[in-house]
Structures are given as structure tokens and as C-alpha cells.
Amino acid sequence: MSRPALASWRRAVALLACAVTALALLLPIPVLAGWVEAAGLGALLERLLRDDGVSSGPVPVDKLVHVVLFAALTAIVAWSSPRRIALTPLWPSALFVLLYSWALEVLQGLLGVRAAELADALGNALGIALAWAGLTLLRRLSAPPAVGSEVVG
């Protein structure tokens, strides 16, 4: 693909992404709006904080950045639910962020800006799993005691 054609393609994809984001934020669906806001925040953080290919030790820093940012994004999406976090199932949030991360990797490969990497997708999935585990633990620790149980202390 020629350089001008690639630039036009990137512009078209960026405009489409902006249009979808604007539409989602204007729709009266709070969960969708929260997810889009969280996805936009995650993409911005990923762009600002990424360290392209810098390696320190056996794990490149950018893979650790993927883990941390997608853990944070999963927590943001889960907390953006209109219902309390204790009442909202976590799996839809985790699935949304996982699909979002896969879409980002595919788009990177298609647009030729960066190569799509399986290691990035695995780092994203690990971050999502860590957030899910952390949020599940937080729920269990903050759950009220069962009826009939005694508090010793």
C-alpha cells in the first residue's frame, strides 16, 4: 500500500473510531458509555506510557506495561457499571476488555503502524485475569457476614 493510501486509511479508521465513541457516549446506555470511556482512557494510557521494546532483564518492559494497563482498564470498566461492583458480574467487563485488546492487536497489524504480537495479547490477557482475581478477592473480603454467623473478636 502506498504511503498516501495508508495515511488515508489511518485517517478513515481514526474518524470511524471517533464517530463510534461519540455515538456511544450520546446513547442513553450508561454501561456502554462507561465502557467506551474506560476503553478510551486505557488506549490513552497505553499510548502515553508504552515503552516500545525496551528490555530490562528476561521480560521486556512493554509486556509488563501491557499487564499493568489492561489490569487497570479491566478494573475501570468493572467499576464503571451503573450498579455497585458487589452486585455486577465481572465476566462481561473482562470479556469486553479481552475483545477490545484483541481488536487493538488486529488493528495494529492491519494498519501497519506496529506489528501485532501474540506476547502483547497474552500480556493483556494476564492483566485482565489479575484484575478479575483482585476484584473477586475484594468482593469476598468486603462481603457482609452471612446471616447467623458470629463475629468473634
The answer to whether the predicted template modeling score (pTM) of the entire model surpasses 0.85 is: no
Phi, psi of 86 (to 5 degrees): -70, -20
pLDDT over 70 at 50, yes or no: no
Per-residue pLDDT, 2: 59
3-state secondary structure 31-91: HHHHHHHHHHHHHHHHHHHCCCCCECCCCEHHHHHHHHHHHHHHHHHHHCCCCCCCCCCCH
pLDDT over 80 at 136, yes or no: yes
Return mean pLDDT, the chain: 70
Confidence of residue 12 (pLDDT cuts 50, 70, 90): low
User: Whose CA is closest to 47, among 61, 65, 64, 67?
Assistant: 65
Query: In the chain, where are the structural domains located?
Result: 3-142
Q: Could you report the per-residue pLDDT of 60-105, keeping only the tens digit for each?
A: 777 888 888 888 888 877 777 655 555 667 888 888 889 888 888 8
Per-residue pLDDT, 72: 84
